[in-house]
Amino acid sequence: MSLKNDKYLNISNSIMNPYIEEWKKNNKKIIGYYCTYFPEELLHAAGLLPFRIRATGNEDTDLGDIYMVRFTCSFVRMTLDLALKGGYDFLDGLFITNCCDHARRMYELFDLKVFNRKEFKEKPPRFYIPIPHVITKEGFDYYKQEIIKVKKEIEEKYKIATISDDDLRASISVYNKNRELLREIHKLRILDAPKLSGSEALQLSMANASVPKEIANQELDRILNILKEREGIKTNKKRIMLIGSVVDNTGFLDVIENSGGLVVNDFLCFGTRNFLDDVEVKSGVNPLEEITRRVYYRMSCPRMMDDHVRRLDFIKDQVKKAKVDGVIAQRINNCDLHGCDNMMFEHELRDVNIPVFNIDRENFQKDYSRLQTRIEAFFEML
């Protein structure tokens, strides 16, 4: 059964969707965020809807370029551009972390430029959590205290009496279920005859970050059942693992998958990094601490300076599990974090005979033909 016009996957094609509209109609609040290094369960427990900011559908950076120099990430610039054009006027708050130098400055720019527009009668609250760049016990303790502070801020700003431990446990349950469903779907992706394409997987991931989690769980369950029944993709296409910078549009994946590749696995933040592990629920343990523990200690992105080896081992393991023919390591231009991580991966993976194609791109490109030629050439080598 084709998922081509599936209404749930189609949510990923735009920013606004019927679930957001319904949420707003019920006078409920939506909080935008950029980075998955943040405890979504906390917002869910507060009755807020976390919405992952992306630039899908935006092809310009005209307004964004006024406030960010061209030597910055086009993904972040495009999201800013979209926000300045009114694409995020439905937000009732913003959650920023120091995930990278580009995204963290959205705190100031949303404060001074987006939320200052007349469309906002009142400036929505902004929240910030500094995340350590290392994975240590001391770093965890510091991060935990910052999350406790932010919890109090959320309660104060949204006039919530308290976000109780029971609320948090309930949210953990919903989110663990969500991650479990995504893992089940992922298992179908890495089969010898994958049940879904890379583009479909990305669409699922983006939709998942754009709707209430209860809705997401229902839809993922429905889609999982469809996929189980579906014929697998039997093809001679090269099995590819995609790693690197954020990917928020299927255009890029379509180029790969129309050039002779099938993206059977990934290491992306709209991808596997989100659902590898769950929050442990132990009785007597502070649920907020466990939520924090999961976020902090999970499989990292290159913002964690001391964790490259663990990321490398993960990639090697996933290459094996998904029987990957080659890795495409991509970065958005000016992404220093993924750029340098990818540089090391390229050498390290080649040392163990895993072919790697290391490329840079802009977040949106009107013309992919040159990139397609290079990708095709890489596939011919495999």
Residues that bind another protein (CB under 8 A): 66-73, 98, 100-102, 104-109, 112-113, 128, 130, 132-134, 136, 138-139, 142, 145-146, 302-303, 305-306, 308-309, 331, 333-337, 339-344, 346-347, 358, 360
- Pairing relationship of beta strands 356-361 and 326-332 according to DSSP bridges: parallel
Q: Which residue lies nearer to another protein by CB, 2 or 353? A: 353
CB of 325 to another protein, least distance (A): 21
Q: Which is nearer to another protein, 144 or 157 (CB)?
A: 144
Burial class (CB in 10 A: 0-12, 13-18, 19+), 182: buried
Residue 95 CB, shortest distance to another protein, in Å, is 15
What's the min distance (Å) between Cβ of 358 and another protein?
6
Task: Tell me, rounded to whole angstroms, the distance of Cα 369 from its chain centroid.
Answer: 26
Nearer to another protein by Cβ, of 72 and 292: the residue is 72
User: Which residue lies nearer to another protein by CB, 68 or 268?
Assistant: 68
Give the whole-angstrom CA distance, residue 362 versus residue 247: 10
Q: What are the residues whose beta carbons fall under 8 Å from the beta carbon of 215, sequence distance 6 or more?
A: 19
C-alpha 191/C-alpha 339 separation (Å) is 30
Shortest separation between residue 152's beta carbon and another protein, angstroms:
14
- Quote the least distance from Cβ 11 to another protein, whole Å: 29
Residue closer to another protein, measured from CB, 140 or 180? 140
**E strand intervals along the chain:** 30-33, 49-52, 93-97, 126-129, 238-244, 261-267, 326-332, 356-361
What is the nearest approach in angstroms of another protein to the Cβ of residue 274? Answer: 21
Rounded to a whole number of angstroms, the minimum distance from the CB of residue 69 to another protein is 5
Alpha carbon distance 137, 29 (integer Å): 34
Q: Which is nearer to another protein, 241 or 335 (CB)?
A: 335
Q: What is the DSSP string of 235-275?
A: --PEEEEEEES----HHHHHHHHTTTEEEEEEE-TTTGGGT
- Measured from the CB atom, the residue of 171 and 330 that comes closer to another protein is 330
Sheet holding 30-33, edge to edge: 49-52, 30-33, 93-97, 126-129
